[in-house]
Chain A
Amino acid sequence: MDVLTDNFSLYGEGFLGTIRLTVYASLLALALGVIMAGFRVAPVRALRVVGTAWVTVLRNTPLTLLFFAMLLGLPRFGIALPFELFAVLALGCYTSSFICEAVRSGINTVPVGQGEAARSLGMTFGQTLGTVVLPQAFRTVIPPIGSTLIALAKNSAIAGSFSVTELLSTYKTLNENGYSVIWSFVWIALGYLILTLAISALFHAMERRWGVAR
């Protein structure tokens, strides 16, 4: 117990670091994912190819490899950014491919009639997608996006091994200070449980508020 009380500020810092990573990477992943989903259903072939390539490559890339390449590779081209920003980029790009697939399958659940009606009113592709189809798709993609973001929160643990402040990496300091390893891991595990349960609860609430069964 005193592992937690003695090192509350250390744990708090790590926990906040994990939350920061998760929030920023989520925002990036959501934005990129929706754009890529738009590309994948666009009438322009080149854009479809871009979307498909993005998803296929990133979904089959080990996240550790992405971190490895980004955090150690990009600085060699003179692109020097803080490690945390690199971590957000890597996590965000990786997760965006999963968000893209979730959104795309959500678009497919919207009845064809909706798109056809929008078109018959003379709406362009952008208007059809943005004002008619996506708002309806949003309601069905809440659960899959929730589980993708939970996976993102869990994946943020990898960033700790690339010298970014986050929850898992606190164990090193505690270990050096001679605290019980088992107990320090118990509190770390609890931290992740709190975070994932919070995201899960948030998305359950959104699902209750806006979700529809199709």
Chain B
Amino acid sequence: MTAHARPARSPRAPRRARSLQTSGSALYDIPGPKARARHLAYGLLATAALLALAGWVIYLLVDTGQFSGVKWRPFTYAGIQELLLRGLGNTLKAFAFAAVLSLALGAVLAAGRLSEHAPVRWVSTVLVEFFRAMPVLVMIFFIFVALQVQPLPALVAGLTLYNGSVLAEVFRTGILSVERGQGEAAYALGLRKTQVMVHVLVPQAVRAMLPTIISQLVVALKDTSLGFLITYEEFLHAGRLIAINMDYTMPFIPVVIVISAIYIGLCMLLSWFATWVARRERRSVKVTAQAVAPPEAGSTMPGAPGVR
């Protein structure tokens, strides 16, 4: 909740509405003529610096001949296209497996942490805390090297363990943040524990937590690139193959440009989807109890969702 929304300050709302238009911040006055001129100068300066930077990058690219036709021709070969598409397909496959399995593991661990049986609760707490504290790469390497597993299962297992435990915490907070009266009313109607959970608490919790869940899936999608390090034939791996195969022309930079654009584009799409869901959620009349925080980096201590 931002400070702007304080009801006590409503008498002065019109003025704030105006300052909100310019900035959304109380950090500076509505600029007068002098300040406007100064801001314009700063703006021009910043734009000039940016353009200079962009120009320098483009100069470097052109200077080293990155835009020459020779370097981009490989992308027209059917074999190269197939290699890249197969890499992308493998990335998406790993992501799909990891996403589905982490959601399942998250649900199981969250149910464990909310269980009424103390031993179950302890075990799930230890698991969740341990897997959140370990670097995901250490787990992937451990499964790959020590347990001698194929790259894909190793990658999926590592991602599932990490994201599953983070999601477990997300689910748990979601369920705990459903208004107490909801569960009490359901028990009063004579529903059993499982029924209360399945029919009353979980649907509301998932609704409220959907943006956070999706932004955790963005983390999973980003982390599929770790498969590159254990020789899983994903997107980056395909790019590297192209880059080192044609050592005569070395179209490394074009490959990086293409791959980054697609990778970052995919992650941005998913992030925007999360923001869109969050906005829709806030507008929705059906949910009024929850103020869902927008998906953003770290809001709690160790291993918070979405931090990686």
Q: Is the CB of A133 within 8 A of B263?
A: no
Q: In the complex where A60-B218, A154-B136, A155-B135 touch, is A182 in contact with B146 (Cβ < 8 A)?
A: yes
The reply to whether the CB of B3 lies closer than 8 angstroms to some CB of chain A is yes
The reply to whether the CB of B31 lies closer than 8 angstroms to some CB of chain A is yes
The 8 Å CB contact of B145, one of A56, A62, A112, A175, is A175
Please report A residues at the B interface, Cβ cutoff 8 Å.
41, 43-47, 50, 56-57, 59-65, 68-69, 72-73, 76-77, 97-99, 101-102, 105, 107-112, 115-116, 119, 124-125, 128-129, 133, 143-148, 150-151, 153-155, 157-158, 161, 168, 171, 175, 181-182, 185, 188-189, 192-193, 196-197, 200, 203-204
Q: Is the CB of B138 within 8 A of A76?
A: no
Q: In the complex where A46-B46, A144-B297, A168-B135 touch, is A151 in contact with B308 (Cβ < 8 A)?
A: yes
Min distance, Cβ B51 to any Cβ of chain A, angstroms: 10
Q: Is the CB of B22 within 8 A of A43?
A: yes
Query: Quick one: closest B residue to A72, CB to CB?
Result: B252
The 8 Å CB contact of A168, one of B141, B252, B300, is B141
**A76 / chain B contacts, CB cutoff of 8 Å:** 64, 250, 252-253
The reply to whether the CB of B81 lies closer than 8 angstroms to some CB of chain A is no
**B252 / chain A contacts, CB cutoff of 8 Å:** 72-73, 76
User: Interface with A: B114-122, B192-200, B220-228, B281-289, which one?
Assistant: B220-228
User: Which of B35, B43, B307 counts the most A-chain CB atoms under 10 A from its CB?
Assistant: B307
Q: Is the CB of B228 within 8 A of A68?
A: yes
The CA of A64 and the CA of B31, in the complex, are separated in Å by 43
Q: How many residues of B contact A (CB 8 A)?
A: 68
Q: Is the CB of A133 within 8 A of B27?
A: yes
Task: Give me 19 A-to-B residue pairs in the complex whose CB atoms sit less than 8 angstroms apart, sorted by A's number.
Answer: A44-B42, A46-B44, A46-B47, A60-B218, A62-B223, A65-B236, A65-B264, A68-B236, A73-B256, A76-B64, A102-B298, A107-B25, A115-B27, A144-B299, A147-B303, A150-B302, A151-B298, A200-B302, A204-B301
Please report B residues at the A interface, Cβ cutoff 8 Å.
2-4, 6, 9, 16, 22-23, 25-29, 31, 35, 39, 42-44, 46-47, 50, 60, 64, 133-138, 141-142, 145-146, 218, 222-226, 228-229, 236, 239-240, 243, 250, 252-253, 256, 259-260, 263-264, 267-268, 271, 296-304, 307-308
**A143 / chain B contacts, CB cutoff of 8 Å:** 298-301
The 8 Å CB contact of A61, one of B39, B224, B260, is B260
Q: Is the CB of B296 within 8 A of A101?
A: yes
Q: Is the CB of A147 within 8 A of B226?
A: no
The 8 Å CB contact of B3, one of A97, A99, A109, A192, is A109
**B243 / chain A contacts, CB cutoff of 8 Å:** 72
**B225 / chain A contacts, CB cutoff of 8 Å:** 62-65
**A46 / chain B contacts, CB cutoff of 8 Å:** 42-44, 46-47, 50
Q: Is the CB of A203 within 8 A of B301?
A: yes
**A193 / chain B contacts, CB cutoff of 8 Å:** 133-134
Min distance, Cβ B79 to any Cβ of chain A, angstroms: 22
The CA of A147 and the CA of B304, in the complex, are separated in Å by 7
